[in-house]
Chain A
Amino acid sequence: MRTRGAILLANIITGLALGFTVSNIGFGDYTELNRMFTFQDLRMLLSFAGAVVIIVCAFALLRIRRTPGRIHAGVVPGAVLFGTGWAISGGCPAIPIVQVAGGYLPALVTIVGVTVGIRLCRWANARYFHLDRGSCGL
């Protein structure tokens, strides 16, 4: 069991490294993002896919547990909504933060939208969807 301080330090290091890396790859640049999604430039796609390949190999070597995960009813519709929003706004939940840090002030609106969407998901799930854990922060 890791101490609270160690987990805090790990999250600070991870956040700093993630923001630095994602920004330098170009994920905060809408032009680069659209070029990735339309396969005009494979650089960012290879960055992401290459990272996944390295992680899969490393986790296999380190014998990190393959955790189960049920494909629940919210996965596909949620992913469709997320993919649509990502292509339109250029932001997955970390990217608008990086965009603002890079000077793109309108990305603050994206952040507001993300926070509204997250709160809306919990509300809608409690009221309408009634999905179990794995969705909407449950």
Chain B
Amino acid sequence: MSGYWPWWAGAAGLALITINYALTTDRSFGVSSAWDRVLHWRRERRLEEMDAEFADDRALAEALAAATAEHFGTGPSAPAVPPGAYGTPQPLASDAEPTVSEDAPVADPGPAPLVTQAALLVSIFLGGLIAALTSGRFHLRFDMGPGFHDLVTADPITMVVLLFVGGVLVGFGTRLAGGCSSGHGLNGCGRLRPVSLVATAVFFGTAVAVSFLLWKVI
């Protein structure tokens, strides 16, 4: 379709975004995870407050361990550091997990602050708006375009129902699987995480099957 980027530009853009985020934050980003944390903001804010309190305890324990090691001339052993509210480290954390260089000391940065996840979602909207306006594609409409009209339904009521049901499946499915196309697809597959490779193969394969059904059968 005219007006869209060639594949190599899209690939370079998505890769740059993912690599830049990993380098600048030591973390992965995941849109479904951002949604999840923003929607449960009360619980997340409480966890952040608890984590801030635990951080003081951790700093004290680490200072004591360092002082002990210096006094007795031994190497720094693993101090009895109390876990944070987020239970760091997070071996099974979802798609917003922290990542560090394998040579770096193990210092888990924890999940990104809640406000940054809200900023991510708002910025996606603004980025999409800028793209639509600058490309001339912006057009306020009450349908989902000719493809949805031809392949899924032309009835407005059915359209609303299917969009809602599809949205519920997306929201439920991404959180159950622990990630979406950004968390598992880009960040997880980019790190060759087995769970992300499996999840991406399954959600992509399912989408292919359902799309063929919509195209050829229904």
Residues in chain A within 8 A of chain B (CB atoms): 1-2, 4, 6-8, 10-26, 28-35, 37-39, 41-44, 46-56, 58-59, 62-72, 74-94, 96-107, 109-122, 124-125, 129, 131-138
Contact = CB atoms under 8 A, between A and B. Distances in A.
A46 B5 CA distance: 12
B81 to A, nearest CB: 15
B167 A50 contact: no
Given A74-B177, A117-B175, 7 more contacts: A2-B24, A46-B10, A64-B102, A72-B92, A75-B199, A97-B128, A109-B163
The B interface, classified by DSSP as helix, strand, loop or mixed, is helix
Nearest to B24: A10
B215 A34 contact: yes
Nearest to B171: A117
B172 A89 contact: no
25 contacts: A14-B21, A30-B151, A34-B214, A37-B208, A43-B6, A55-B15, A56-B189, A56-B190, A63-B101, A78-B173, A80-B173, A87-B207, A90-B144, A92-B32, A106-B144, A106-B163, A107-B144, A109-B167, A118-B32, A118-B172, A118-B174, A119-B39, A120-B171, A121-B172, A137-B40
Given A1-B109, A65-B102, A79-B202, A29 B178 contact: no
B32 A64 contact: no
Contact of A78 (B5, B189, B199): B199
Contacts of B39: 115, 118-119
A67 B193 contact: yes
A69 B193 CA distance: 6
B72 interface: no
B190 A52 contact: yes
Given A12-B123, A84-B207, A113 B190 contact: no
